[in-house]
Each structure stands twice: as C-alpha cells, then as structure tokens.
Structure 1
Amino acid sequence: MAAEVMLMNEIEATAAQMGIDMNIDFSSIQLPPGENFGIISDDDDVYHDEQLELDSGFGNVIVVDNLPVVPCEKFENLEGVLRKIYSRIGVIKEDGLWMPVDPETKKTLGYCFIEYNTPQEAELAREKTHGYKLDRAHIFVVNMFDDFDKYMKVPDEWAPPEIKPYTPGENLQKWLADEKARDQFVIRSGTDTEVLWNDARQSKTELVYKRTVRVLD
C-alpha cells in the first residue's frame, strides 16, 4: 500500500505540471464503520525493505480521456462500466482505477487513471480501447501515462532542426553521367566477368573491369 501511495503522489505531481486539477473532496467519502480497506496505520511497524516492490516508472498506468462527466450519485455506475471493459484485458490493481472529481461541482472531470499489474497489460489496453465508442458522444482517447512526461518535454517555441554538414557518399550511378554518353554492358563467360564501355561512335568497346573466378577442384 505504501508503494501505491507513492505512485499516487507522483501522479498528482505530474498532473499538477500539466495544469490538471486533481483535488478530491475526501470529506464526502464515507467508509463503512470499522473498515480500513487494508490500510495499515503508520504506527504499526510491519514493513520490511525486502517486501516493498517499487516501480521505476508508470509503464503500467494508462490515462483514459473523453469519459462522461457524471455527478457523485452516478460515479459507481461509471466506475463499474470502466472496470467491466478494462478488466477483460488484464488484472487491474486493487484501488487501481481512479477518477478525479471536481471539488466545486462534485462531478467527474472526464478522465481516469487505470493501473495494471504489468506494462504489457497496460499497453494492450491502450491498443484495444483507444477509439472505443462508449456512446455517440464519448469515444475513448487512451494514452500511456509515461507518454505525458515526453509531451511535457516538448519546448513551447519551435526551433529549427540542426543541419548536419553534407558528406557525399559513393555515387553508384556515376557511369550514367559519362561525358561521352556511353553505355556499359557486362559479359559473363565461364569464370570470366567483364564490364565494358560501348562507344557507338568509335565502333569499339573499352574494357572497364575484368575478373576471373577461380574454381576449386
């Protein structure tokens, strides 16, 4: 659970850089009496370093955009629909589906984060559901969460690409630019290969290249 808290904190930090309001009114969330959903108190010294598995990135998290904006009373219905769609593709982590809510309107913001067990499941979910038509007005736009870091690094102002100095390579068609407008032709006979110029004006050929292939007994 500690690893999941760290993951959520990093998601919130990245979302803040993008200008996305991730504030949630936690006072509106009511838990059943005596239920802690597996959240262990910080006072309980039960964690060991070898038990913590921290991800180095967010390769297993996708962002699903263009969702319906619904009030709190329809939150569970929308979450159930999303879980039904995305749990068919892979295993969603416990508490791995998160829809931010506008603290003023108490409505969802039209997107959610889904965390899978593996990056492979997340990539497959993006591939399978990007462009998925929930209804006429809501077509899913799905991105990998890691991609947002790449998008944030795109400079605001365009800069021309660096022009590297030209380095000419070997001209394999140099013979086409022969100053005498001659053609080349090849003769192969047995083990011999010859390349010759054909000069129609001189009624004779000019040897350019000759090679004899030695045949091993």
Structure 2
Amino acid sequence: MAKKKDSDKASQNSDSNKQEKNETNDDDEPNFSDPEGYVDSITDEELLGDILKQKPKETDGVESVVVVDGVPQVGPERLEKLSSVISKIFRKVGPIVNEYYPKNENGLTKGYIFLEYSNPNDALEAVKLVNNHKLDKHHTFLVNLFTDFNKLELPLLHSSSSSFVLTRVSLTPFQTHWFTEISGSRVSTIQENGNSRYEAIPDEWEAPEPQPYKEQGNLHYHLLEPDAFDQYCLIIAKDSTVQIWLNSSPEPIKLEDRVRWSEAYVNWSPLGSYIATYHKKGLALWGGPTFQQIMRFTHIGVQFIDFSPLEKYLVTYSPQVDDPQGDQKKLIIWDVRTGLEKRDFSPGGLNIWPIFRWSHDDKYFARISTDMLSVYETPSFGLLDKKSIKITGIRDFSWSPTDNVLAYWVAEDKDVPARVTLLEIPSYTLKSPPPMWKNIPLDPPNIHRGTPLNKTKSSTALKLVLEIA
C-alpha cells in the first residue's frame, strides 16, 4: 500500500508541474505585431466608417451665420441708425441672436457684417430673400452663408459648446478678414496667431490672369444672307431629329441635321443669335454658322424659357419639380454671355407665361400678381424703389416697344369704368396719353381692350365703360 501511495504522489507532482508550466505560458502577452514588410490595405474609412461619420466637422456651430457684404461704411455717430435699418430688413426672416460690425482703426465700419440667426433654416432663407437687396443707389447687399466659404478654403475653426472662433475669413477676392470670435452675446476681435493656413495669401490684391478668348463664331451671320432668306427648324418625332433649313427659293436648303439634339423642343432667341435645346439637366444654347454650343444652364426639369429683347438675359422655369425639401429653384434668371445665375424667384402670382415682361432695352422687367405690379431693375435684379405698386383690379400690362413706359389696364367694377394707364419707369409718374388718342372715336371697333358696352335701365342707349388715364 505504501508503494502505491508513493506512485500516486509522483503522478500528482508531475501533473502539478505541468499545470504550473501552462499557467506560466498563459501569463505571457501574445504578440500581435505585424511581420516585417507587412502593408495594411484596409483604410480607416472601411474599418471605422460608422464612427468617422460622427466626427465633428469644422463647420459645426456656424450654419446659422450669414456674411453680408455691400454694407455702407459709417462712423460711430451713424452706426446705431445703420444697425437699426439692417436689423429691420433681416429680422423679417427670423430672430437674430448676434450681430457684428467690424471696424477699422478710425472707427469706420468695414463694409461687411456678420449676423447669426437662431437656426440654420433662417440663415438659408436670408440668403434667398435678401441677397442682391438694393439698400440705396450705391449699396446692394451680397448675402452668403458662412459655411459656403469652404468652397474657397475653409478657415481653421475651433468649436465649443459656448463659443466658436472663426479664423480669418476670405469674403471676396479683394479682401481678407481677421479672426472673429463670437461667444454667447459677446462679440470681439482677436489677433491672428500665425497658424492660419492663409499664410500663403498675399496681403495685397493681385490682378487675375486673363483667360484665353473663346471663339463663339459669328452669332449674326444669318444677317449677311444676300437674299435675306429666313431659317426655320423642324423636329421629326420618329427619332427626335432636329433639322434647320434655309427658306431659300425655289427649294429650301438643309443646313443642319442632328439626331436627339433636343429631348423636348427648341426655341429661337428673339434676334436669332441662339437656338435653345431642352435636356433633363437643363438647357443648352447653340449658335454660329456651324451651330456650336455656346453656353449651358443647369436647371433640372426646365420646360419654359424666355429671352430678354436684347438677349442679355434668359428666364428658365421648371414648374413640376420633385423636391420634397423645397431646395430646388423653379424660376431663374441667367446672364446669357457668362452663364451665371443672376437671381431666382418664386413663381407665385398669376398663372401666365411669360411670368416676366421686359422693357425694350433690358433695363427693367415686371410681373403682376393679385392687385399688385412689381418692377425690377438690372443688373441688380432688385425691386425698383424696393416696393411694389398696389393696383386694385389690374388684369394685364405691356411695355412700350421704344420707351420705358408701361401700360396697364384695370377691369370694370360695377359703375367704375375700365381704365388704361400709362406709367413712366423708373419715376413711376403717370404719362399723359398721346394727343391722337383723344381723337379716336369711342365706338366698339376702336376698343381693343376692356369690357363690352352696357345698357342702362332707364333707356336703350349704350354707355361706354372704358376710360383712358
């Protein structure tokens, strides 16, 4: 029995030694190092994509800030009045939390300001409604979201729960602005610390390099046609082929034949310089002897267009836009030569096309809504005198083909006769009708606009209900 017990003890001692060795090996830290020469092909975005999406952005906290350029430069004695006028304009959009008027060493405002709204939606609405607002003859507001400046090069941004620091903002190509700190209700200017990534920008403005001239061809070549033959366009529905013909004699001559040149129809400009083709993403203008592409305008779903008489501007309208968020613009005015958007409008008003009607020299355009006439001026595209004219019962209007005179008519209302009025623009003064109008016999064949003649109850005589103002 004793020998058996000794063997058991030896076996137990052996098992115990093995267990201790295993425990010792388990305590050693495992080596997860990559072997020498190993290259990791997995990016942080693939490995931690969901976490990186939550990483704070440089623009967090400034979505409600707008930058307003074109502000008058005034001294301390006029600053309170200026602030009151500007606040009245911008508070129509929403409540303003903070406002900051940078000043130079002489105490004069620098011509640009910072406004902070209570939420980003108000800031976005301010850009839409107040941009290009004409304050007076010499000052027109240019309003941008502060977050839009990341298109130039977003400045360094330090953000916290109670304050944020804007590090040297570039508002225009001509000026660079210093750090601005907005903390609660306190607004102050701090010095540059030398760590801005704008160190490479020169302090003095340098003229941009001229771009090479892009030949557009002779857009008026058709006027040199020796026999003054017109051109016309045909669209073949079978394969959407667009053909342009010269209406020559004895047989027309085909000038151009392109398959699927337009996805809808085509329009000629009023002077014949351009032909417009419609596409899903917008509009294209073509011209010259070979009908080369001159300009493109991105406006998804565009269905209607209208040129100004001198072809300086183009109006595009997309009435059926599938845009639940309401960000898609429906009515836009463009500069034809540069392709730049000048201003967008809400269609509103009466359902007539064209929505805008232009003066003969492209200086003014106007629209009507219910009991309202609105006249705008170019190139600011702001409301003339910053107000619309209330005209109860206005039905239609038209511009003079040679002068900046606008004629509108008001329908008959009970015993008040219909009225035609001439209005001089931009003075808004009533213009006397030409002397020849007074000699026009007032009988039905001479009445082109207005309501029919009415019969009175007391007699069978006809009573005229048209008055020329």
- State TM-score, norm by structure 1: 0.43
- State TM-score, norm by structure 2: 0.20
Bigger RCO (CA 8 Å, 6+ sep)? 1
| Structure (1 or 2) with the greater helix fraction | 1
